[in-house]
Structure 1
Amino acid sequence: MRLDYLTIFPEYLDALRLSLPGKAVDKGLLELHVHDLRTWTHDRHRTVDDTPYGGGAGMVLKPEPFGEALDELAVDGATVVVPTPAGRPFTQPLARELATRERLVFLCGRYEGIDQRVLDHVATRAELVEVSLGDYVLNGGEVAALAMTEAVVRLLPGFMGNAASLVEESHESGLLEHPVYTKPAAWRGHEVPPVLMSGNHGAIAAWRHDRALARTAERRPDLLPATAVASEWVVEPAVRADAGELWTLQRACWVTEAVVNDELRIPALHEELDDVVAGLGEWRTWVVRVDGRLVGSVRARTTATERGEVWEIGRLMVAPDLRGRGLGRVLLEHAEQAAPGSATAYRLVTGARSEANLRRYKRAGYRVVEVQDGPAGPAVLVKRISAR
């Protein structure tokens, strides 16, 4: 594979010669070429940037040096990778895809970015891939190019000394990697799990899978399909006998909301057991139990509005000690799937200052349509129901 880098700071990419990438160059697996964009300037100041049309802060990299560089490097037919906050997210599947290309050309932007006409021109003669390393902004594309290079080239056949080391890594199976241990068996009061020293390969494989699933559910529940998480939790209709536990869970969950929103007048905090029992008759309510303990719940009902029927979702609750494991997402999706065919939208409310809830619901496709003037707001969120 051949890799080219266009940058105004070529020394930044000296790290490409270190460690495994450097060894891959020596073995002939990689061909690396770092090019100084200023090579293709023609004024005594070697100018590569200018002020943006339309005004604004910062400078924009000029198209002419890029144009001449692309011509001289003959990029036609190559894959041109442009690190940019406006690109598609860089993921392991994309790394695997790029590892199949014969030639990658990285255009490393700086300042406010590269003149858009450069990218439009590249798209007419090569495969253009605009990629974001994450939801943040760097000073330039060199750091992102280095990270992407490491992720891509390590997937090339013969790059890793032990190809098996690629199999159980984070994101390869859709899960985060399980915890790993080495000698000694005991260190500063911490011991290696006995199963890893048992010699029972089936038990070891099962332990690693369980730990990978638990770690992913805790740290990155967004990576898990709902079916994978639901295998741990069964969502069932609530019954009258659940009212006492629902009342207790409701108090525990809305104390947190009261603290976050600095508001004690939240209705859920002031309901009595009879109110919870009445709610079971007015709403369709579902619960989740773990080892007999009620740990989560959600309810929903149809509400008529001027725009048609709305599937109102409420009292989405997860026991505080189990938050962050994806159970809330499972409950929300379950409630959505129970909506009648006549419903045109989902509707729910949360505290106006409940930032974690607001982020979660926005990721699920909801948008804030109103912030009411009442206890803790609340913020009203709506999600349109696609034709089913």
Structure 2
Amino acid sequence: MRIDVVSIFPAFLDVLDLSLIGRAREDGLIDLRVHDLRDWAHDRHRTVDDTPLGGGAGMVMRPDVWGEALDAVLADGAEVPGGPETPGGALGAGRAVLLIPTPAGEVFTQRTAEDLAGADRLIVACGRYEGIDSRVPRHYAARGIEVRELSIGDYVLNGGEAAAIVMIEAIARLLPGVLGNPASVVEESHSALGLLEHEALTRPVAWRGLDAPEVLLSGDHARIARARRDEAIARTAARRPDMIRALDPTTLDSQDRAALARHGWVVPAGSLGPAPMRLRPAEPDDARALAALAARTFPDACPPFLAPEEIAAHVARALTPERFAQWIADERAGVAVAELPEGSPAGSDAEPIAPGELVGYAVFLLETRDADGALPEGLDARPPSIAAPDAASGRAVAELSKVYADSRLRASGLAPVLISHALASAARAGATEIWLGTHEGNRRARKAYKRAGFSARGTRVYEVGGTACRDVVMSLTLAPAGEPSPRKEPRA
């Protein structure tokens, strides 16, 4: 690639002789030429600017000087793929691009750098003062030359040289042979993956009380790749939510979606991109919406032999607004809800999710009696396979009563997040063991609970609308600190 830079301070560009860009020049990978704009000024003072037409502060760079300079630089291209200027006024075969750094330009991004790395020739016009006369880019665009006015950020510099250095380095490092390891550009921040780069760590493994993650020392390349990908998602969610919004759902696997959900983003079915998700304790005003969500989601977990009227009878008895209101008011119950504050992204193919609509919930119930000796409403009888705690042991048992996600959030990673939240909340409430029952035919739910650390402990019979259903009973020991133990990393 040939790169020509025109500036009134050509020495400013000497920094490009350093490091990898300088080595690429030496190796002939980049033909970088720097020109002094004042060489095309004809008065004694080599003047390149004048006062603004119509008045105003500052000075504007003259179009006549820039026109002569750019004409000469563009014509000096016989030996590059762009070729000499043709009689029609445009360059010959190949792609030549005139770049003008300006705070009024389009934002220069990694995608811009990738695009410009495919050009044969770049001509960079570095303005100063109030900038280059606006007729200059219009003139060359009219001649058929590709003109790009670009900004490296929402701030103003004294001139275009610093911005030119930034753009040249970002573009040149993408050219074949410039970087020693071509893979370096694949996983770095702002690459085509759409994420910030994961943390970079080296030896010593332990430094000032900070130890590198064990997975990096495991030699298990698949685990390392997954850990780095999760770290990249976490970093991007925390620092650049705009990049999370722009992710293409077709590039995200189930583990990506689970990682996004852990950091407050979900991908609704048919969505054009991730949407922010908020997990919070249920409030009294949520009772009616929770009952409506329960009525929609409970049938998804039911075996196919149950008749619709049997399911409806169970919902009408056990999943009413009054029951949810009781749970929300009871300190022995933990009710968490997930909502999409902004709804689903515009343009999604599936049924839209309204802003603030509840899309998931989880309920746990502590097996403790109130002052009247009553257990929480809706607490199921503890199966025989779950031993009663010794009164003197300080142990408490909880039932993970409900974990449901809207069907539009299926495979989004929301369910594992709801499970994790319920387990941590139950441990903080004093539970040391938590159990659940799920229908023996619901393999998807059983796999999700197993990934969260639950183990099968037996079976029970559970009635829905008067029909007996056979459940698998699963349980998990909770560590006193509030973290489930043992437990696997939750996945979608």
Q: Same fold (TM over 0.5)?
A: yes
* Pair 1:81-2:99 in alignment: yes
> 1:182-193 to 2 correspondence within 5 Å?
182-193=202-213
SS at match of 1:22: helix
Aligned to 1:246: 282
In the superposition, relative to structure 1, how do residues 314 and 19 fare at CA in structure 2: closer, same or farther (>3 Å)? same
| 71-80 vs 102-111, which moves further | 71-80
Identity of aligned residues (%): 53
> Partner of 1:163 in structure 2?
182
* Cα distance, 1:235 vs structure 2: 8.8
- SS for the counterpart of 2:128 is coil
CA distance in 1 between partners of 2:135 and 2:354 (Å): 48
CA distance in 1, matches of 2:15, 2:215: 40
Which residue number in structure 2 is paired with residue 179 of structure 1? 199
Deviation, 1:23, is 0.7
Aligned to 2:336: 294
| 8 Å Cα contact 2:282-2:335 kept in structure 1 | no
- Write 1 or 2 for the structure with the bigger share of strand: 1
Alignment correspondent of 1:134? 153
Distance 1:49 1:187, change over 3 A: same
Partner residue of 1:11? 11
CA distance in 1, matches of 2:354, 2:227: 40
Cα deviation per residue 1:325-383 (whole Å; 9 max; x = unaligned)?
xxxxxxxxx9xxxxxxxxxxxxxxxxxxxxxxxxxxxxxxxxxxxxxxxxxxxxxxxxx
SS at match of 1:34: strand
Distance 2:212 2:292 in 1: 52
Change (3 A) 1:204 1:56: same
Q: Deviations over 1:269-298 (max 9, x none)?
A: xxxx3x554787999xx9xxxxx8736535
- Is the 2:106–2:150 Cα contact (8 Å) retained in structure 1? yes
Number of the residue aligned with 1:31: 31
Identify which of 143, 150, 160 aligns with 2:169: 150
For residues 295 and 216 of structure 1, the distance between their equivalents in structure 2, rounded to whole angstroms, comes to 24
Match of 1:119 in 2: 137
Amino acid at match of 1:12: F
Given the superposition, is the C-alpha separation of residues 131 and 293 from structure 1 closer, same or farther in structure 2, using an over 3 Å criterion?
Answer: farther
Greater fraction of residues in helix: 1
- Paired with 2:47 and 2:338, the residues of 1 have a C-alpha distance of 61
SS at match of 1:164: helix
Q: Is the 8 A contact 2:5 2:125 kept in 1?
A: yes
Deviation at 1:164, TM superposition (A): 1.9
Shift of 1:58: 1.2
Give the letter aligned to residue 198 of structure 1. Answer: S
1:92 aligns with 2:110: yes
Provide the C-alpha distance between the structure 1 equivalents of 2:38 and 2:160, rounded to a whole number of angstroms: 16
How many Å separate the matches in 1 of 2:227 and 2:7? 46
Q: Which structure has the greater CA radius of gyration?
A: 2
5+ residue gaps, structure 2, are 76-89, 269-279, 297-333, 344-352, 359-408, 410-492
Is 2:236 the partner of 1:216?
yes
Letter matched to residue 191 of structure 1: D
Long gaps (5+) in structure 1: 237-243, 248-272, 287-291, 302-310, 317-333, 335-388
Letter in 2 for 1:184: P
**How many pairs align?**
275
Relative to structure 1, the CA distance from residue 109 to residue 294 in structure 2 (aligned partners, 3 Å threshold; closer, same or farther) is: farther
Q: Distance in 1 between matches of 2:131 and 2:148?
A: 15
Matches within 5 A, 1:323-342: none
In structure 2, the partner of 1:305 is none
**CA-based RMSD:** 3.5
Contact 2:101 2:126 in 1 (8 A): yes
2:46 paired residue number: 46
Q: Note if contact 2:339-2:356 (Cα within 8 Å) is conserved in structure 1.
A: no
